[in-house]
Amino acid sequence: MKRAIFVLVLALAACNTPTPRLQLVFAGSPSQACPSTTCGGVPMNCKTVMSIRIFDPADAASPYVWQCVSVSPQQDNNMCALTGVDLVSTPIPVRDLEGQGALYPATEIPPDPTRKGELMCPTTVEYNDSTGFPVEQPVTPALGGRAFYHPGDETVVVTLGCTHLDAINESCAASSLVTVTATIDDFDTRIPVTGGPDGLADRLWVSVGEPRVFDNMSVLGASDVRSLARSIDGPIPAWGGDIEYQFRKHACLEVLEIAGQTTATVRCTSVSLDPHLELHGVWMAKQRLDEILLALGTPEFPAEGLTVGVVVDGAGNPVDGAVVSASGSTVAYLSKQRDAFISGATSTTGIFISRDAAFGTVFSTGGPGQPTVSGIAGLVEGTVTIVILQSGGPAA
């Protein structure tokens, strides 16, 4: 059930027409879904700025209502703080009008140099014609939506899509200096890639970051990662350095071979407050990924991404007969012949995949007399998310 953040009553410049209410609610699935459709379930940890605009679509540059209001978090740190916003009631003409609502991190909205004490919200925001939610632009709202008023309407509901909710909740967090040390293993052999003049390491681009949700999909774009320089040349190479990054839940090491038609891999782990991160990435040969796609019957790599995992024993050898769970998502197993995916349990390849696990899904395996081992993976747009479950050894 959707719940209004607040209701604004507008005064009409005419008689015998209903006085409309502008009602803001939160989006549910599937596009730009918020964590909840109630204000109490949508976090707001940092100060935000709310823009409300009501205008004639034929003259968007001259709005009848335009407010740019600063909103501070309350004790519960959620979007119910917006209920305290005092919006003006302004006479508007009785004609078709468009209403827009957008929220921004306070750090992105400058003061208005022409009006003391006022803020300067963006005047032009582009919205998707189908969903009514914001699209990527120079200053993208963290939440936003639009709707239309027609003479006689009693309520105009503007549904806010959570375009980039994290932008608000990260805006007041202090930047952290993190020391990262990273090594890269071969997916097939589980041993480190080699350095030196004939090694693979010189062809790898290595970076670290954390996926974010955009348009209901986890993405890891150029602005979400920090590249890592080679810190050890070989024969077992390493990457690392000091980076400024505010990790929230996960640290992901991204590996891309600098060659034609290759796909990046990411391998992720939970993070703590420790300013030192020791990460282990994975390189997957193109022919191995091509084999997996062929067994899937998918000639093109899925745009939404793919999770590929392997269950190995303490020595790194594939485990036959392991059952993998994935927090309600589906798992399929590469057959012994490597030409199809089957249900039930791993074959002698030890390899499994998931095509519907959201990023952050916990993959686990265990058995009678065996401890349960787990790893974090899930779909990240355009990448192969790797999870290695090592039974008889630490979770990977």
> What predicted TM-score, i.e. pTM, was given to this entire model?
0.59
Q: Identify any residues that bridge with 205 across adjacent strands, giving them in sequence order.
A: 256
How sure is the predictor about 108, in pLDDT bands with cuts at 50, 70 and 90?
Answer: confident
Q: Is the pLDDT confidence value at 248 over 60?
A: yes
- Residue where the block lists tokens 């991404």: 305
Query: Strand 143-149 to strand 97-105: parallel, antiparallel, or no bridges (unpaired)?
Result: antiparallel
Residue 134: pLDDT band with limits 50, 70, 90: very high
Question: Under 8 Å CB-to-CB from 293, ≥6 apart: which residues?
Answer: 299, 300, 301
Q: What are 316-342's pLDDT values in tens digits? A: 999 999 999 998 899 999 999 999 999
- pLDDT band of 19, cuts 50, 70, 90: low
- Tell me if 149 sits within 8 A of 17, measured CB to CB: no
Lowest mean pLDDT among 29-33, 140-144, 174-178, 345-349: 174-178
In contact, 235 and 195? CB cutoff 8 Å: yes
Of 9-23, 267-281, 301-315, 371-385, the poorest mean pLDDT is in 9-23
User: 141-198, pLDDT tens digit by residue?
Assistant: 999 999 998 888 888 888 999 999 988 988 876 557 889 999 999 999 999 998 766 6
Query: What b/e string do you get for 262-288 counting C-beta neighbours within 10 Å, with b at 16 or more?
Result: bbbbbbbbebeeeeebebbbbbbeeeb
Closest to 67 measured CA to CA, from 52, 55, 81, 57: 52
Across the range 348-357, mean pLDDT stands at 96
Band (pLDDT 50/70/90 cuts) for residue 279 is: very high
DSSP 243-311: EE---SSEEEEEEEESSTT---EEEEEE--S-SEEEEEEEE--HHHHHHHHHHHT-SSPPTT-EEEEEE
61: left (phi over 0), alpha (psi -120 to 50) or beta: alpha
Give yes or no for a contact between 262 and 256, defined as CB atoms under 8 angstroms apart: yes
Give the mean model confidence (pLDDT) for residues 24-45: 89
Nearest residue to 386 via CA among 317, 277, 314, 312:
312
pLDDT mean over 383-391 = 94
Dihedral pair phi/psi, residue 332, rounded to 5°: -125, 155
Percentage, residues of the chain above pLDDT 90 = 51
Backbone angles phi, psi at 87, to 5 degrees: -95, 140
pLDDT for the residue 146: 93
Question: Sorting pLDDT into bands at 50, 70 and 90, what band is 395?
Answer: very low
- Summarised one tens digit per residue, pLDDT across range 203-214 is 999 999 999 887
Q: Which two tokens stand for residue 126?
A: 């582009």
- Mean of the per-residue pLDDT values of the chain: 87
For 16, residues 6+ apart whose C-beta sits below 8 A from its C-beta are none
What phi and psi values does residue 201 have, to the nearest 5 degrees? -55, -35
Question: Which residue type, as a one-letter code, is found at position 172?
Answer: C
Residue 2 pLDDT grade (very low, low, confident, very high; cuts 50, 70, 90):
very low
Q: Which of 366, 378, 370 is nearest to 326 (CA)?
A: 378
Closest CA to 46 of 83, 25, 82, 71: 71
- The terminus-to-terminus CA distance of the chain in angstroms comes to 39
Residues 367-374, mean pLDDT to the nearest whole number = 80
Distances (CA, A) of 148 to 79, 100, 110, 145, 197: 23, 9, 28, 11, 63
Share of the chain above pLDDT 70, in %: 90
Cα–Cα nearest to 208, from 194, 226, 190, 193: 226
pLDDT tens, residue by residue, 354-369: 999 999 999 999 876 6
Which is more confidently placed, 26 or 76? 26
